[in-house]
Amino acid sequence: MTYLDTENQDKWFLAFMAIRLFIYFVFMTVNFGQAFIEAREMTLRKVNSKFFMFLAFALFCLCRCISQALFFWRPEEYLVGTIYYVFFSFGNFFIFQEFIFLGGFWIQLLYSFFISSKIRRKGVGRLHKMSNYNHYDDMMHRTKSILSIVVCSVSSTLIYNIVFIIVDGDGTPPYTLFPIRLIITGIIDIGQMIAIMVVMADGLFHKYFLFIRVSRFQPSDKSSASDATDAKLGSMGTKTTHYDGASNMSFNTSMTSLQASNVQQPQEEEEEEEEQVVGQQQLNETTISIGSSNPNIQLIKEGDSSDDSSKTQGTSSAASPCIV
């Protein structure tokens, strides 16, 4: 059967369709692997939206693989009502589900980052410190990237469908445009799959092929160290307010109170030293005044207490009369 105008074009088209089938199969395998990993981590009380996202992605690739295989088997059966069209439509359904779960995952992540129960119950002071969060900037970048990918994918799909609807109305044979539409659809699907998976894996695409869990969003060493410091400051009596959840973000006034205490301590020490100096001067003045008024009173030093006591005993014994 002739797909395009020439035999060489047919060969290039079949080669592209074979590559497309292989890519869909690879993406189906790695996404089923990620869905299985997320299913093991998921518990009844902690439903993970990433599991449904990867599962929908894998089912989308599975439907595309089946439709591609049916195309090689019966290329002339592609219209509405055929088995090819049914699986192709289910593939579109699962890609929409994948975007829905992806948006839900991102909304939960942003919600846990910016909102917690403590913020709703307690007021946060005007002075606060934001702890380091190594994924914050990356998360913002990934959010913008995913929004751009979704907008580009939807816009491209709408544009090419509108264009082909107009072209089909000019009396062009339907099957002549079908291979071209498959090529454009394949480029859009593969492009958005690669972009989304790279974004979800923090740019480490090899994790999918090694079947390693992606998108852990762990805090950095710096944020862990700052959390440990805040915990120590809290045990010292400073006031600290933290965020809860996966955000690892804290608003606290501990640094302000610590700086205030560091400023107050030297001032208190200086005041104590001044009081000690003044007290010593007053003691010396009192001693001098007493000595000048009564010269018979001797001041006894602590070091010479033993010698003075012995002298006193000798004087008393010499002064006492002898009884015969």
Q: If you write DSSP's letter for every residue of 8-27 in order, what string do you get?
A: HHHHHHHHHHHHHHHHHHHH
CA 99 from chain centre, in angstroms, equals 21
C-alpha dihedral sign at 97, 101, 102, 106: positive
- Give residue 224's pLDDT: 41
Q: What is the pLDDT of residues 170-206, one digit of tens each?
A: 555 656 677 777 888 888 888 888 888 877 776 677 7
| 125: Cβ contacts below 8 Å, ≥ 6 apart | 241, 251, 253
Q: What is the pLDDT of residues 241-272, one digit of tens each?
A: 444 443 344 444 444 444 445 545 555 566 66
Q: Which of 109-123, 194-208, 285-299 has the weakest average pLDDT?
A: 285-299
* Domain-located, residue 287: no
* Domain-located, residue 276: no
Q: Is the pLDDT of residue 320 over 50?
A: no
Cβ-based neighbour number of residue 275 at 10 Å: 10
Q: Which residue has the higher pLDDT, 254 or 281?
A: 281
Q: Is the pLDDT of residue 95 over 50?
A: yes
Domain count, the chain: 1
* Domain-located, residue 209: yes
* Domain-located, residue 140: yes
State how far the alpha carbon of 83 is from the alpha carbons of 76, 119, 161, 189, in Å.
12, 54, 21, 20
State how far the alpha carbon of 86 is from the alpha carbons of 25, 67, 91, 202, 206, in Å.
19, 8, 9, 35, 33
- Of the spans 3-7, 52-56, 113-117, 231-235, which averages the highest pLDDT? 52-56
- Give residue 241's pLDDT: 42
* Domain-located, residue 268: no
Q: Which residue has the higher pLDDT, 165 or 60?
A: 60
- Give residue 231's pLDDT: 45
* Domain-located, residue 288: no
In angstroms, the CA 136 to CA 232 distance is: 25
Residue 285: pLDDT band (50, 70, 90) is: low
- Give residue 214's pLDDT: 78
- Give residue 173's pLDDT: 60
Q: Which residue has the higher pLDDT, 146 or 91?
A: 91
Q: Is the pLDDT of residue 324 over 60?
A: no
CA 250 from chain centre, in angstroms, equals 13
Cβ-based neighbour number of residue 196 at 10 Å: 21
Q: Is the pTM of this model over 0.75?
A: no
Give percent of the chain above pLDDT 70: 49
Q: Which residue has the higher pLDDT, 57 or 47?
A: 57
In angstroms, the CA 217 to CA 239 distance is: 28
* Domain-located, residue 282: no
- Give residue 278's pLDDT: 64
Find where tokens 């002339």 sit: 76
* Domain-located, residue 243: no
51: domain range?
7-217
Q: What is the pLDDT of residues 16-44, one digit of tens each?
A: 888 888 989 999 999 998 888 888 877 65
Average pLDDT, the chain: 67
